Copies of this chain bind each other. A is one copy, B any other.
Amino acid sequence: MNLEKSSPWDGLHEECGVFGMYDFDGNDVASTIYYGLFALQHRGQESCGIAVSETSGPKGKITTYKGMGLVNEVFTPDTLETLKGNLGVGHVRYSTAGASTRENAQPLVLNYVKGTLALAHNGNLINANELRRDLEYTGAIFQTTIDSEVIAYHIARERLNSHSAEEAVRRACQKLKGAYALVVASPRKLIGARDPFGFKPLCIGKRDNSYIITSETCALDTIGAEFVRDVRPGEVVTITKDGGIESDTSMCLPEEKEARCVFEYIYFARPDSHIDGLSVYASRIKAGRFLAQDSPVEADLVTGVPESGNAAALGYSMESGIPYGTAFVKNGYVGRTFIKPKQSSRESSVQVKLNVLKEAVAGKRVIMIDDSIVRGTTSDRIVRMLREAGATEVHVRISSPPFLWPCYFGTDIPEREQLIAYNRSIDEICEIIGADSLGYLDIDRLSQMVDGRPICKGCFNGVYPMEPPKEDIRGDYFDKEINLSRKLERM
């Protein structure tokens, strides 16, 4: 819907996917960006958009199409046909409730002193309010509530004192605190930038005579491009027709200071992606193995809560020797517009989305692996479904440590009071969800899980790579229910 509740601070916390492409041979990139966004759809189902320009055309002519909904709902063949241009950026945005408005859809397209700019952003700035206020005190106006507008403003301002667009991007980035993975199309350049901690992934691909900068490698596979390399945390890369990939690493930190979001490995990213050289799938398998080592239990079957629990379940099975099997059938047709059962009705959302394969679990001791428990209400329901289908025991294993702290860098973790792990022992949680036993991944296993890459574990231990903001940056309209419902959507 187009109905916008204008408010400065809602909608800050987005999980998104970005995809930029520059074809030096002048071929249109819109349809390839479409398939790229399609591969990144799991990173955002609220809105999407593509902006393209022709590098050989009149400088600064950008054609844009954005809309609310999934990639295949928003774009039609006709629309793609009209998006002419060999340089472009695309974006998928995560559906938070309050600010789920067309105004906030990306890419952000703008005119500034040097022409036009299209910008797509994944992440969350912790000093966005501060930066907004500073800008407002010099007369700036804001038409959206997304961080990208703040970033764009800074790029426009820095451009006045910079020799190049990439310099302006880098100077602007130096003012940003928080998580960002940016793709920018300036009239003749494709620029990518990643925050110095590397919270959010960003990588470079190549296909024939074109380059791609995108959030995950699965988007490269989907379009048949080869992976070139990851963008380094803190790096600004610039793709030009003449220079190929140019790199500015002046913002990079010593490697040990980097702090990737470990939840990208645990849940966000697609298992077939590689982030900073590590297979997401492999790290999940490893998490399952650690669980088998650290929380062993006798059982007849290991199964995953689809889809995100499957890889860890396989790892647990490999390590423990307990057979892996499918215990659930997920209804793949549950989509954005699914009508949720009313409280009063006999139907339940979980039951509509998941069904148990009685044959697979009846009479068996089942180990059920999930990637996380947030409030516990879904887990509770699923455990009950397994028992009703005849499972004699249900042992729950979670391939991440308990959530205990807020995230300031892009993950929508509910208020502490709503977290099941807050102020509760593992045994208490186990009882609440009705399991026979419960085990979480040990927090010390996380680094091992990602082969020693420096990570942010703030949501588990409250230790953040930078000073968290004092005020609550999530605003009034932050949707407390979003994380849970989103999990169900991806199950």
Give residues 243-293 of A contacting B (CB, 8 Å).
270-272, 279, 281-282, 285
Known: A41-B331, A346-B207, A346-B223. A6 touches B218 (CB 8 A): no
Q: Which residues of B contact A342 (CB under 8 A)?
A: 31
Contacting pair A156 B143 (CB below 8 A): no
Inter-chain CA distance A331–B79, complex, in Å, is: 22
A94 to chain B, nearest CB (A): 14
The answer to whether B35 and A359 touch across the interface, beta carbons within 8 angstroms, is no
> Which chain A residues in 326-350 approach chain B with CB under 8 Å?
326, 329, 331-335, 337-339, 341-342, 345-348
Q: Are B339 and A72 in contact (CB under 8 A)?
A: yes
CB of B335 within 8 A of CB of A70, answer yes
CB closest residue in chain B, given A61: B7
> CA of A351 to CA of B38 in the docked complex: distance in angstroms?
12
Partner of A271, one of B149, B160, B221, B357: B357
Measured CA separation A336–B360 after assembly (Å): 31
In the complex, A400→B2 CA distance in Å?
Answer: 42
Of residues A42, A83, A141, A159, which shows the largest number of chain B Cβ atoms within 10 Å of its Cβ? Answer: A141
Closest B residue to A285 using CB positions: B359
User: Interface residues of A: mostly helix, strand, loop or mixed?
Assistant: mixed
Given contacts A39-B331, A143-B108, A352-B39, contact A31 B137 (CB under 8 A): no
Total copies of the chain? 4
Number of interface residues of A (CB under 8 A): 110
The answer to whether the Cβ of A136 comes within 8 Å of any Cβ in the partner chain is yes
| A73 contacts across to B, CB distance below 8 A | 335, 337
Q: A109 near B: Cβ within 8 Å?
A: yes
Cross-chain contact B142 with A113 (CB below 8 angstroms): no
A224 at the interface (CB under 8 A from B): yes
**CB pair A31 B139 closer than 8 Å:** no
Instruction: Name the contact of A329 in the complex, choosing from B113, B218, B359 (C-beta under 8 A).
Output: B218
Chain B nearest CB from A54 CB (Å) reads 12
Residue of B whose beta carbon sits closest to that of A64: B4
Q: How far is the CA of A160 from the CA of B285 in the complex (A)?
A: 57
Q: How far is the CA of A109 from the CA of B348 in the complex (A)?
A: 30
Tell me which of B80, B138, B224, B358 contacts A279 (CB under 8 A). B358
- Contact in complex: A140, B112 (CB < 8 Å): yes
Chain A 61-99 interface residues, beta-carbon cutoff 8 Å to B: 61-67, 70-73, 75-77, 79-80, 82-83
User: Which residues of chain B have C-beta atoms less than 8 A from A11's C-beta?
Assistant: none
By beta carbon, the residue of chain B nearest A63 is B5
Can you report 20 A-B residue pairs in the complex whose CB atoms are below 8 A from each other? Answer: A4-B65, A6-B63, A34-B339, A35-B341, A72-B334, A72-B337, A110-B141, A111-B141, A113-B136, A139-B156, A139-B157, A140-B140, A141-B153, A207-B346, A218-B329, A222-B347, A270-B355, A271-B357, A307-B332, A314-B325
- A residues neighboring B (CB under 8 Å): 2-8, 31-32, 34-35, 38-39, 41-42, 45, 51, 60-67, 70-73, 75-77, 79-80, 82-83, 102, 108-113, 116-117, 132-133, 136-143, 145, 149, 152-153, 156-157, 159-160, 207-208, 218, 221-224, 270-272, 279, 281-282, 285, 307, 310-311, 314, 318, 323-326, 329, 331-335, 337-339, 341-342, 345-348, 351-352, 355-360, 490
20 other A-B residue contacts (CB within 8 Å) besides A3-B65, A140-B140, A271-B357? A4-B64, A4-B109, A6-B64, A7-B60, A31-B347, A32-B345, A41-B331, A72-B335, A110-B143, A111-B143, A140-B156, A222-B355, A224-B347, A224-B348, A272-B329, A272-B357, A281-B359, A311-B326, A324-B324, A332-B490
